[in-house]
Structure 1
Amino acid sequence: MTVEKFDPQHTSPSASKANEGIAKKTTTLSNPKKVIDGLASEQSIDVSQIAPDAGRIGFVSLGCPKNLVDSERILTQLRTEGYDVVSTYKDADLVIVNTCGFIDSAVEESLDTIGEALAENGKVIVTGCLGVKEDEIRQIHPNVLSITGPHAYAAVVEQVHEHLPKPAHNPYLNLVPDHGVKLTPKHYAYLKISEGCNHRCTFCIIPSMRGDLVSRPVGEVLNEAKRLKAAGVNELLVISQDTSAYGVDVKYKTDFWDGVPVKTHMQQLCEQLGTMDMWVRLHYVYPYPHVDNLIPLMNEGKVLPYLDIPFQHASKRILRLMKRPGSADRTIER
């Protein structure tokens, strides 16, 4: 797996040509597929020139877009506090590895990356999905500084503070744009609307790593989308573990945004996003019946005519064993 900022295969399907140009402009790194140089573009500030004593962080983000959003959030906090983010292991005071543990190959890559960071830097903080298997990590890499699980933003930052003191506060230095640190090209961004999943499919490890569904307040989501629009984003990629379940955990609670009542529900969220003059692309959509209600929004141009829906098997017996609803016949009918 590669860092999404530099891999055209992982960028928005709607902008491959633009991404080719971006990929060609990126700086060659000593570990180009591993260490994030996400602040080396238009949002970069050479912190070493302004605050030479600022701690330097190396950061590796592996896995899916949800993990990339977690990395963005951690980096936003660290940059807010004045830390520098560097693009090589050797230039960093410590390295954070945001791991993936979804499938065997991802586990192997995460463990290999931790080992690589230890060998080339020596000071490594581990976070992300594989972090829930602390014993397994420490058995192979006993010298890591600390291990946390996924979306443990505060815990990661606290560990950085413990091993690399916070830079002196400079009230005249602001390293973070209003929309936060983004590791995607400027024209698109991921918008994570919830965390976790309530399903218990027999083949899937995500609930044991990410926990049950927790929906973000709809006003918070829409405010983030508004900031991204102001920053020049043209396409929102809406993500979560189960996008169509958004709001189930809060019983589709009604909130207010810009004085308008909005339910914590995928359809109403999409209706509001569709007013912001951006492309809205939905990912990780579970085939609930209410997903059909999005078709009118697609016809109106509020949501892109694209649905990322899982289709694991055509056999009813296998689907029962997997604890997946639906059937091939119903899917084709819909």
Structure 2
Amino acid sequence: MATKIPDAPKIGMVSLGCPKNLVDSERILTKLRSDGYQMSADYAGADVVLVNTCGFLDSAKEESLEAIGEAIAENGRVIVTGCMGDEAELIRAKFPQVLAVTGAHQYEQVVNAVHDASPPVPNAFVDLVPEGGLKLTPRHYSYLKISEGCNHRCSFCIIPSIRGDLVSRRIDAVLREAEKLVAAGTKELLVISQDTSAYGVDIRHEPRMWKGHEVRAHMTDLARELGQLRTAEGKTPWVRLHYVYPYPHVDQVIPLMAEGLLTPYLDIPFQHAAPPVLKAMKRPANDAKVLDRIRKWRAICPDIAIRSSFVVGFPGETEADFQYLLDWLDEAQLDRVGAFRFEPVEGAAANALPGAVPEEVKEERFQRIMEKTAAISAAKLEAKVGRTIPVIIDEVGDPDDEDGSIGATARSQADAPEIDGHVYLRDVGEGRRAGDIIDVIVEDADEHDLFGAPVENV
């Protein structure tokens, strides 16, 4: 008589917030899959729904609470984890039927809560986890988290109170994960943390043996070793550095970009430029020396793309401070910029600062900075028309929908997924698929995106 394997419980997942949260969700699902759980793509098919929350801004908290409410309405059996886990009382007061609440990156507690709510099927007979773990991103790109927490105490931020101080991963563990991801088909690695430049500070840049030589837990060593990775085709994968504070040692990674070992892209959270605002934010000083360094970076690696984000309407920000920021942006000529209106976050020191900026002034400044940065972006993209550049394909169109001419959505080296622009391609031909890296000729541009075609089809 054949043994019937019981049906495995199914888990649904709603993942909100930043890429760091997404990595947490992937780790949780990988562990649950290894325990024999199946994944559900909808509420109806799930035995338990996990909601991985974001708590960085009040608007993000509202979105998280809405997601919890929706999961309860659609399914009823909900476990909450992530950054809002520190506000368990608030969550339970609003949703008393929630099965469990755990905090950020508390993987073991989340898994135990799932085990309690819906016990796993014993004695799994097959390997349920693919090499490299389960992913919530497309196969061709992956986030590589190198640390948790942050040692900064920026007055507008509550991340350290949620995720704690900096805790760096071992350098050999990070490199091993990167190697496995590339072996499994990843063509683009996105290095993330709360402060990538500070990687290894907490463990005194502890060295480990890797491939027969010693490497330190330090951003420069990490960048150099990631530049040695090769895909199955023998190509260098794209490697992007995110959340990079402009410490002096950042200068050392720019030559690696010029050599083609790292993607020429830096995500630096400047937040503002006016010294009085930076001081109130408790941010590192950001004066003309940074502009000098940006000029030197571009001299070494002309194609480097620099993205950043800025807060407008911070308490005490004067019109002169804001104009200083606009003038600084004219000098810096950053490639990609995101802007945010200041939003008080419960528990943030900035809430007690004097000089609250009226909402209508915040909005007016927001519109002005977006107009300024859009004009800079448009000019930079227009300058690329006629050039041949490499792109990575994210999605290939259906020829049935496009009169036989197959289009594709791709990204250049200046475009990180989800946050930057796209390169829209025509006539990519048959046989192309997501993850292909090809050379294209840029034919047109607008404020944020490029348009072009593969070199062989022009």
Match of 2:110 in 1: 156
Q: 1:231 aligns with which of 178, 181, 184?
A: 184
Match of 2:312 in 1: none
Is the Cα–Cα contact under 8 Å of residues 247 and 253 in structure 1 kept in the other structure?
yes
Identity %: 61
Given residue 54 of structure 1, which amino acid in structure 2 is its aligned partner? A
Instruction: Please list, as runs of the form range in 1=range in 2, the aligned pairs for 1:109-258 lying within 5 A after superposition.
Output: 109-170=63-124, 172-258=125-211
Is the Cα–Cα contact under 8 Å of residues 81 and 169 in structure 1 kept in the other structure?
no
Counterparts of 1:281 and 1:327 in 2: how far apart (Å)?
Answer: 23
Match of 1:92 in 2: 46
Match of 2:20 in 1: 66
Match of 2:267 in 1: 308
Is the Cα–Cα contact under 8 Å of residues 187 and 238 in structure 2 kept in the other structure?
yes
Given residue 91 of structure 2, which amino acid in structure 1 is its aligned partner? I
Confirm or deny that 1:259 pairs with 2:218.
no
CA deviation after TM superposition for structure 1 residue 303, in Å: 0.9
Match of 1:291 in 2: 250
In the TM superposition, structure 1's runs of 4+ consecutive aligned residues that sit over 2 Å from their partners are none
Is the Cα–Cα contact under 8 Å of residues 256 and 262 in structure 1 kept in the other structure?
yes
Confirm or deny that 1:81 pairs with 2:40.
no
Is the Cα–Cα contact under 8 Å of residues 281 and 303 in structure 1 kept in the other structure?
yes
**Which structure's relative contact order is higher, taking Cα pairs within 8 Å and 6+ residues apart?**
1
CA deviation after TM superposition for structure 1 residue 246, in Å: 0.4
Match of 1:268 in 2: 221
Q: 2:61 aligns with which of 80, 84, 107?
A: 107
Is the Cα–Cα contact under 8 Å of residues 53 and 80 in structure 2 kept in the other structure?
yes
Given residue 212 of structure 1, which amino acid in structure 2 is its aligned partner? D
**Greater displacement, 50-59 / 136-145:** 50-59
Match of 2:447 in 1: none
Q: How large is the Cα RMSD of the aligned pairs?
A: 1.1
Counterparts of 2:49 and 2:87 in 1: how far apart (Å)?
Answer: 19
Unaligned runs of 5+ in 1: 1-49
Match of 1:328 in 2: 287
Given residue 160 of structure 1, which amino acid in structure 2 is its aligned partner? V
Select the structure of larger CA radius of gyration: 2
Match of 1:19 in 2: none
Counterparts of 1:311 and 1:228 in 2: how far apart (Å)?
Answer: 30
Residue deviations 1:270-325 (CA, integer Å, cap 9, x gap):
11110012111101111111111111111111111100001211211111111011
Counterparts of 1:317 and 1:250 in 2: how far apart (Å)?
Answer: 33
- Could you say what secondary structure the match of 1:133 adopts? helix
- Could you say what secondary structure the match of 2:14 adopts? strand
Residue deviations 1:202-223 (CA, integer Å, cap 9, x gap):
0111111110000000000010
Residue deviations 1:72-103 (CA, integer Å, cap 9, x gap):
00000000011011011111111110000011
Is the Cα–Cα contact under 8 Å of residues 63 and 100 in structure 1 kept in the other structure?
yes
Counterparts of 1:168 and 1:139 in 2: how far apart (Å)?
Answer: 35
Counterparts of 2:136 and 2:263 in 1: how far apart (Å)?
Answer: 23
CA deviation after TM superposition for structure 1 residue 327, in Å: 2.2
Unaligned runs of 5+ in 2: 231-236, 294-458
- Could you say what secondary structure the match of 2:267 adopts? coil
- Could you say what secondary structure the match of 1:178 adopts? coil
Given residue 35 of structure 2, which amino acid in structure 1 is its aligned partner? E
CA deviation after TM superposition for structure 1 residue 195, in Å: 0.4
Counterparts of 1:102 and 1:125 in 2: how far apart (Å)?
Answer: 20
- Could you say what secondary structure the match of 2:265 adopts? coil
Counterparts of 2:273 and 2:211 in 1: how far apart (Å)?
Answer: 45
User: Structure 1 length normalisation: TM-score?
Assistant: 0.83
Is the Cα–Cα contact under 8 Å of residues 244 and 291 in structure 1 kept in the other structure?
yes
